[in-house]
Structure 1
Amino acid sequence: MVPRPDFRASDQTVLKPPSDQTLRFKEDGTFQITVFEDLHFAEDAEKDKKTQGVMSYILDKENPDFVVINGDLVSGEWTHKADSSRFIHEVVSPLVDGGYRWGSTYGNHDSEINLNPKEDMFKAEHEYSNSLTQSRVSGDRAGITNYYLPVYPHSETNTESSAPALLLWFFDSKGGHYYKPEGEGGPSVKRPSWIDKSVVDWFTKTNAKLSKKHGKPIPSLAFYHIPAHAMLEYQQVKGIDPHLTPGVDGERVNPQGTGDWSYEGQDLDFMHALLRTEGLIAGFSGHDHLNDWCFKWDGSLVDQDLTGNGINMCYGRHTGYGGYGDLTRGGRQILLHEGNLKEDTETWIRLEDGSAQAHVTLNTTYGQDSYLALASDVGNIGAQTETSLLPFSWIWVPIMMLWRWKM
């Protein structure tokens, strides 16, 4: 287990980061984020060591300004009540060792009858001063990790009155099962696997207040573990073109509200809020271990009576050796340029073998610009050059779904 530092955060619902942890663009006007998805610690000690190795390698290779752990930090069904929190110390060990700041969202495997996300995970994260993870919306239906972090211009020192250059929004899409305290019997109770309306209302109101305070909408990114339904609609209706939306397309999208639930538009409020958020550049999700593509939700795609307005939606890359899938592990990189966030936001996948792939620019013409298709799919699925892997996914997905929801 990783030794714990001297820092101890206060025990409160909303934990604010220390003042010296203010996020800023660098002097050259850039800000880089590394996203780790689906780490799935706790399944096997050797797998956990390999996952730590992937994280450390990518951090050393990219040297980002901030790290996002975007859900499924652990496989809660493999933990025990007595030691659940210790796995968080293993999760963040590469970040602590490298001195990196991070923020987390929690995923569907981060809440189980043996694992209490608020007590075992949230508190454990805040034993480290570099954790900027917060909880700003109360209530069991809201989940835990709903908050935002501002990123300021490099030269700005008075953050009390100045406008951020960028906002990072984090959402808890929940899922899994509710924790059962020691000695409490009865069957496990499933948690809804979508972002609750109370969180959507908080997001909409808070963003409006920030826009009013600073006299303009603030450019932003959103992070949530389970993808929105628009990604499934795009995959089924448009298809993943390896030249226009390069990346691995190895399984059917499993959006918010699916799995143990019958999809009935549970994430409609959330998608509507995303579309109404002026300045939102992109949303990033994980959950589906065999996908790592991006798409632009423009006016050509209508989902649940909602017409896209040009926001981008991206998968990360399966980072952990826990969980299903045999793709080469890696992490999504996001490079932002303060001078032109809307047109110059770059993103790519850095793999543990040192290579980088699917480097695209999320500008207004993304989805129309042509890129080189992946030379191969670097895992055990097979080649992806001129065609999508989607046909394969209809065979593979039932196997994956059985693994995911049988716990």
Structure 2
Amino acid sequence: MLGPLKRVTNQLATMSRSSASKQAGGRDMNTPSVTYLWMKREQRRQWLSSSLFCLICSLVAMFATLAFLFVFSSVLLCKADLYLAEDGMFHIAVFSDLHYGENESTFGIPADKNSAALMRQVLSQEQPDFVILNGDLITGENTFAFNSTGYVDQIVAPLVQGGYSWASTYGNHDSKYNLSREALYAEEKKYANAYTQHGPAGTDGVTNYVLPVFPLDTTASNQKPVALLWFFDSRGGSEYQSLPANVDNIDNYVSNGTVSWYRSAQADLQSKYGTLPSLAFVHIPTLAFVDLQAQTFPLVSGPNYPGLNADVPLAQQGYSNTGSEAIPFMQALLDTPGLHSIYSGHDHGDSWCGRWPNSTLPGYGVGGGSSQNRPFLCFCKHSGYGGYGVWNRGVRQIRMSFDQSGSMIVDTWVRMQAGTVVTAVSLNETYGGDTYSTEDGQ
């Protein structure tokens, strides 16, 4: 009985191998090892196909994610333009010489709290359209490397909480052994509200840039601005981690490279838009401020030029008595059509405004020309509780308005922390002849 069964089994096995051979395209599959290898190759082919498909899907997903992140980051990094308010005006609050981080082991922390309280109070009372931090944000020589840029977060906290946008210039105390301008800028740019920009190659310092202000009804990207806001880095201070520590070794004036950029950028904008009214912000004043203070004394702080005049003589850009290092910058400012006024801090005891003097004497800087073509010079008010001086703190306000012809009118005043408004003036063609209250808040 076993013989026929064996034959039947052998026949079935032969038929099975024959069928498998036909399915394999006629390959010789008579041995178990060949069958095993063929099955492994089929499995590997299927695995490779599946893996390749998964890889392609992963790459597509990765590129889609990168594209999303690029678009998202672009939205965050690209600033909207500045526009006039609904009333057709543009109101700027200028906080100067905040000096956060000064003597943090003693009076520094309470001083910074007082500065923050002043910022919140003035912002609440004035509700400006834009804020400018005009230099010496931090007393860098009193900070440590691990916490120096962290003071930026404290400085801008009232602005972020109030939804205000801002732009900065940097001062001589913003570059010290434990604080660099580059690090300060990097920290500031973490905030979407910060319009501060880094100057292009060829400029010196960091904060050399221009911001256009557009009409409220602007619908196209090529709409003509109504005004320009220029920002300049007057530098000063000491190099980061340079020994001996905190010994000033950076030139304290707007460099010739920056002047070249400014002349070129101003010419390009004029070629594109024609003459536009503009304001300029720079921390350390030029010698023209010294000239004006000397030539109008004792009229500065009087009824024609109201404001505090306690730093006499004031400190200016450059090292020599004549301030000759800053002459190229001063000449570039005077050569700028439409430049209305220049705003500086640095000298905590001054807060007056005047017209650029008609200085022609040796050692008196740059002047001449029609008085109507020379810009106004204004000191900001010492705003922070750090920094030298015991004068009451306040914040300069600037309101730009425009008539139907596009001409700009500028009114300015100082809002004191006590809530009072002092030295409210109109910087127009009759300024210097008009009389105002001499109340300066002191």
- The TM-score bracket by the shorter chain reads 0.7 to 0.9
CA deviations 1:99-121 (Å, max 9, x no partner) are 100000000000001111102x1
Q: In structure 1, what is the Cα distance between the partners aligned to 2:246 and 2:165?
A: 38
Of residues 158, 161, 169, the one that matches 2:220 is 158
In the superposition, relative to structure 1, how do residues 87 and 325 fare at CA in structure 2: closer, same or farther (>3 Å)?
same
Q: Which of 418, 421, 424 is residue 359 of structure 1 equivalent to? A: 424
| DSSP-derived class of the 2:325 partner | coil
Q: 2:203 aligned with 1:145, yes or no?
A: no
Provide closer, same or farther for how the CA distance between residues 246 and 179 of structure 1 changes in structure 2, counting only shifts above 3 A.
same
Percentage of matched positions with identical amino acids:
38
Rounded Cα–Cα distance in structure 2 between residues aligned with 1:186 and 1:25:
45
Amino acid at match of 1:315: F
Is 1:91 the counterpart of 2:155? The answer is yes
Map of 1:168 onto structure 2? 229
Gaps of 5+ in 2: 1-68, 103-107
TM-score by length of 1: 0.83
In structure 2, what residue type is equivalent to 1:131?
Answer: A
Conserved 8 A contact 2:414-2:422: yes
Q: 2:402 is matched with which residue?
A: 338
Amino acid at match of 2:235: K
Aligned to 1:403: none
Match of 1:251 in 2: 311
Describe the shift of the 1:186–1:372 C-alpha distance in structure 2 as closer, same or farther (beyond 3 A).
closer
The residue correspondences of 1:105-184 to structure 2 (distance < 5 A) are 105-119=169-183, 121-138=184-201, 142-159=204-221, 161-180=222-241
- AA of the residue aligned to 2:317: Q
> What is the CA distance between 1:138 and its match in structure 2?
3.1
Amino acid at match of 1:116: S
Change (3 A) 1:94 1:167: same
- Go from structure 1 to structure 2 and tell me whether the alpha carbon gap of 1:319 and 1:113 turns closer, same or farther (over 3 Å shift): same
Write the deviation string for residues 130-178 of structure 1: whole angstroms up to 9, x where unpaired.
0000012336x7100000101001111212x121111000000011111
| Deviations 1:72-101 (CA, angstroms, capped at 9, x unpaired) | 000000111111110111111111110100
Query: Is the partner of 2:324 in helix, strand or coil?
Result: coil
1:341, distance to aligned residue in structure 2 (A): 6.8
2: distance between equivalents of 1:186 and 1:124?
A: 23
Max Rg structure: 2
Structure 1 residue 307 corresponds to structure 2 residue 368: yes
Letter in 2 for 1:331: V
TM-score relative to the length of structure 2:
0.77
What is the alpha-carbon distance in structure 1 between the residues aligned to residue 392 and residue 301 of structure 2?
21
Contact map agreement 1:246 1:372 (CA 8 A) in 2: yes
Q: Select the residue among 390, 415, 418 that pairs with 1:350.
A: 415
The 5 A counterparts of 1:8-407 are 18-19=77-78, 21-43=80-102, 44-119=108-183, 121-138=184-201, 142-159=204-221, 161-180=222-241, 188=247, 190-214=249-273, 216-239=274-297, 240-252=300-312, 253-258=314-319, 263-299=322-358, 303-307=364-368, 309-339=373-403, 344-374=409-439, 377-379=440-442
The change in CA–CA distance for 1:264 and 1:34 in structure 2 (over 3 A counts) is: closer
Preserved CA contact (<8 Å) 2:342 2:376: yes
More helix by share: 2
For these two proteins, the number of residue pairs brought into alignment is 357
RMSD (Å) for aligned C-alpha atoms: 2.3
Shift of 1:334: 0.2
Larger RCO, structure (CA 8 Å, separation 6 or more): 1
Q: Which runs of 5+ in 1 are unaligned?
A: 1-8, 380-407
CA contact (8 A) 1:234 1:301 kept: no
